[in-house]
Amino acid sequence: MTTKAYSLFSLARNALSYHRNWQRAWRSPQPKAAYDVVIIGGGGHGLATAYYLATQCGITNVAVLEKGWLGGGNTGRNTTIVRSNYLLDASAGIYEHAVKLWEGLSQELNYNVMFSQRGLLHLAHSVHDLQEIGRRGNAIHLNGIDSEFLTPDQVKEMLPIINLNCRYPVMGALLQKRGGTARHDAVAWGYARGADAAGVDIIQNCEVSGIRIENNRVVGVDTNRGAIKAGKVASVAAGHSSVIADMAGFKLPLECYPLQALVSEPVKPIIDCVVMSNGIHVYVSQSDKGELVVGSGSDAYNSYSQRGSFDLIEHTVGPLCELFPLFSRLRMLRQWAGIVDVTVDRSPIMSKSPVQNLFFNCGWGTGGFKATPGSGHAFAHSVAAGEMNEIAAPFSIDRFNTGALIDEGAAAAVAH
Amino acid sequence: MFIIQCPWCGDRDQTEFSCHGEAHIARPKNTESMTDEQWGDYVFFRSNPKGMHRERWVHAHGCRRWFNALRDTATDEIFATYKVGETPPEIPESSSANTSTGNASGDRS
């Protein structure tokens, strides 16, 4: 089966049959007995890994095993923000790699991921905040990534509805114009369609229950749909990475927390950039449907419950209404949580593991969505080669033993 | 939202407490002879289970004392809270196991 390209002509052609005959975007195959690479987790990062393995690394005998449905975990639960305004060189390497891939992604995938570089404002509310964005903004600039400092007046010009003189007044901001948002579901679906077209088997409702290891080398996985042999296994399981590691007999430097988000009723365009406030803990953007998408800090206790507590909601909407008093009239429609796997240095893990041919891509914590293309790209090339490439290498699990941490606590947006 | 039973103060709202991760991780005694891997394991690596978790809490906006809790991270149900130094309770067989807590005598442990 060949995948037919989406175009204006295919839209017109399918309109003639009332859109009843669109080809399915990906197959739903039975799992084979063996694959060269088995990827655990069908979120954005796992599907992107599969896509780049099949299209750039020449490895097409690949399965993506997803316990639920594609993008039903953190890919469908994040607040869709894309940026690369991180402090350290290793972070600039991976996040800017991702932003560059984002910039051509819809064309490459022939799938509209609705990437919108609407600009991203990071507000400062104290002298300390100003010093932090000063240091970070200059570091970002030195890494060749766009960043600009704004005065409060410039912030007001960009965002007329903001209340600069709130309880903790806005004293300045860091702007990344190339930052913005993308449609999260479309990212999963676009990568899935592209990977499937290149020969990858995407198997949903297939939960891994065990890792098969012989002589300290991974040989396959057990699933609720039978055992599957594998030359290499790549775990891209986000919040459940520690569960996978436990199956393989080791621990990861991760702890899981619920991270909540909520959306308001849809309104006409009112805020045309992403606003983040590290100081008073809220971030907000407006989706293309018109809903305000709002988030803040994570719940500060270990949990896999995908719920979170009420007090965090109050902690989120309080600063939102302080910054934008007119939003106090909006009603919130939905609230949910995703389980974020957080490392102590707030940087991800892309790494070999104590078991040969078992690789981990995890620890993206509260900020994985923005990195989806870069993470998939770097991890695919690393898994194919059996060694982490230049971009992924600094994010080894080993850094927690050597002490070469990549501390991005301040760039992680709000307290997590 | 949880109601958490502080071993000293009784049932209080979760917002009075803060959680500080996995409990019963003792600082190693042979620090001068430890490898980087052993140090890394002590400082950073955590079991992070989906299920029963023994963890440290502090009644930050109450008596400000530390205690431990046994909680199911899949459901957030708390099965027991107990004072520092007390023998950790057994992990219940089923999730329907009832809550038991440390005694309320107020002894410092």
Alpha helix (H) residue ranges in A115-231: 127-142, 152-158, 184-197
Chain A segment 192-251 residues within 8 A of B by beta carbon are: 240, 242-243, 246, 251
Q: How many other CB atoms sit within 10 Å of the CB of residue B30? A: 7
Taking the Cβ of residue B76 and every Cβ of chain A, the question of whether any pair is shorter than 8 Å is answered with yes
Dump strand ranges (E) for A12-101. 34-40, 62-65, 81-82
- Report chain B residues whose CB lies below 8 A from the CB of A302: 19, 21-22, 48, 53, 55, 73
Helix (H) or strand (E) holding A374: helix A372-385
Cα–Cα distance list, B63 to A376, B7, B57 (Å): 48, 10, 12
Residue with tokens 């309109």, as numbered in its chain = A15
pLDDT in the model for residue B64: 97
Residue B78 identity (one-letter amino acid)? I
- Report chain A residues whose CB lies below 8 A from the CB of B34: none
Alpha helix (H) residue ranges in B1-55: 36-43
Alpha helix (H) residue ranges in A143-255: 152-158, 184-197, 241-248
φ/ψ of residue A13, rounded to 5: -60, -45
pLDDT in the model for residue B108: 32
What is the largest distance, in Å, between two alpha-carbon atoms of chain A?
64
Q: Residue A171 and residue A162: Cα distance in Å, rounded? A: 13
Chain A segment 320-349 residues within 8 A of B by beta carbon are: 341, 343-344
pLDDT in tens, A159-207: 999 999 999 999 999 999 999 999 999 999 999 999 999 999 999 999 9
Rounded to two decimals, what is the model's pTM?
A: 0.94
Taking the Cβ of residue B32 and every Cβ of chain A, the question of whether any pair is shorter than 8 Å is answered with no
Residues above pLDDT 90, as percent of chain A: 94
What 8-state DSSP symbol labels residue B46? B
Quote the crossing angle between the two packed helices A44-56 and A372-385, to the nearest 10°.
50
Per DSSP, the three-state class of A23 is: coil
Contact between A232 and A62 (Cβ < 8 Å): no
Q: Is the pLDDT of residue B97 over 50?
A: no
Taking the Cβ of residue A415 and every Cβ of chain B, the question of whether any pair is shorter than 8 Å is answered with no
- Report chain B residues whose CB lies below 8 A from the CB of A401: 36-37, 39-40
Dump strand ranges (E) for A278-389. 282-286, 292-298, 332-342, 349-352, 358-362
Q: Residue A186 and residue A288: Cα distance in Å, rounded? A: 13
Indicate yes or no: CB of A255 within 8 angstroms of CB of B48: yes
Q: How confident is the model at residue A35 (pLDDT cuts 50, 70, 90)?
A: very high
Extents of the domains making up chain B:
1-27+49-92
The whole-chain average pLDDT of chain A stands at 96
Rounded to 5 degrees, what angle do the CA atoms B67, B68, B70 make? 150
The full DSSP string for A81-143 is: EE----SSHHHHHHHHHHHHHHTTHHHHHTS----B---EEEEE-SHHHHHHHHHHHHHHHHT
Q: Look at strands B18-22 and B3-6 and give their pairing.
A: unpaired
Q: Residue A148 and residue A126: Cα distance in Å, rounded? A: 18
ipTM confidence score:
0.90
Q: Residue A359 and residue A383: Cα distance in Å, rounded? A: 7
pLDDT in the model for residue A369: 97
Contact between A204 and A70 (Cβ < 8 Å): yes
Q: Residue B15 and residue B59: Cα distance in Å, rounded? A: 9
pLDDT in tens, A102-148: 999 999 999 999 999 999 999 999 999 999 999 999 999 999 999 99
Q: Which of A181, A152, A179, A180 is nearest to A85 (CA)?
A: A179
A104-110 contacts, C-beta under 8 A, 24 or more apart:
A105/A182, A105/A187, A105/A190, A105/A373, A106/A190, A108/A194, A109/A51, A109/A190, A109/A191, A109/A193, A109/A194, A110/A5, A110/A6, A110/A194
Residue B12 C-alpha, separation from nearest chain A C-alpha, in angstroms: 14
Once rounded to an integer, what is the mean pLDDT over residues A334-342? 95
The whole-chain average pLDDT of chain B stands at 86
pLDDT in the model for residue B26: 93
Token duo for residue A27: 């197959």
pLDDT in the model for residue B94: 59
Q: Residue A363 and residue B48: Cα distance in Å, rounded? A: 12
pLDDT in tens, A197-248: 999 999 999 999 999 999 999 999 999 999 999 999 999 999 999 999 999 9
pLDDT in tens, A379-390: 999 999 999 999
pLDDT in tens, B46-64: 999 999 999 999 999 999 9
Q: Residue A392 and residue A399: Cα distance in Å, rounded? A: 12
What 8-state DSSP symbol labels residue A294? E
Cα dihedral value A290, A292, A293, A294, nearest 10:
180
pLDDT in the model for residue A414: 64
Cα dihedral value A148, A153, A157, A161, nearest 10:
110
Residue A264, beta-bridge partner list: A332
Indicate yes or no: CB of A302 within 8 angstroms of CB of B41: no
In chain B, the residue whose alpha carbon lies closest to the alpha carbon of A241 is B48
In chain B, the residue whose alpha carbon lies closest to the alpha carbon of A315 is B15
Q: Is the pLDDT of residue B102 over 60?
A: no
Q: Is the pLDDT of residue A255 over 50?
A: yes
Token duo for residue A303: 């949990």
Contact residues for A59 (Cβ-Cβ < 8 A; gap 6+): A36, A37, A53, A384
Q: How many other CB atoms sit within 10 Å of the CB of residue A378? A: 27
Q: How confident is the model at residue A3 (pLDDT cuts 50, 70, 90)?
A: confident
Contact between A259 and A340 (Cβ < 8 Å): yes
- Report chain B residues whose CB lies below 8 A from the CB of A301: 19, 55
CATH 3.60.15.10 fits B1-27+49-92, yes or no: no
Residue A235, beta-bridge partner list: A40, A360
pLDDT in tens, A274-310: 999 989 999 999 999 999 999 988 999 999 998 889 8
Q: Which of A255, A347, A396 to mutate to test binding with chain B, by most B CBs within 10 Å of its CB?
A: A255
A24: exposed, middle or buried (Cβ count in 10 Å: 0-12, 13-18, 19+): exposed
Contact between A264 and A332 (Cβ < 8 Å): yes
Q: Is the pLDDT of residue B96 over 60?
A: no
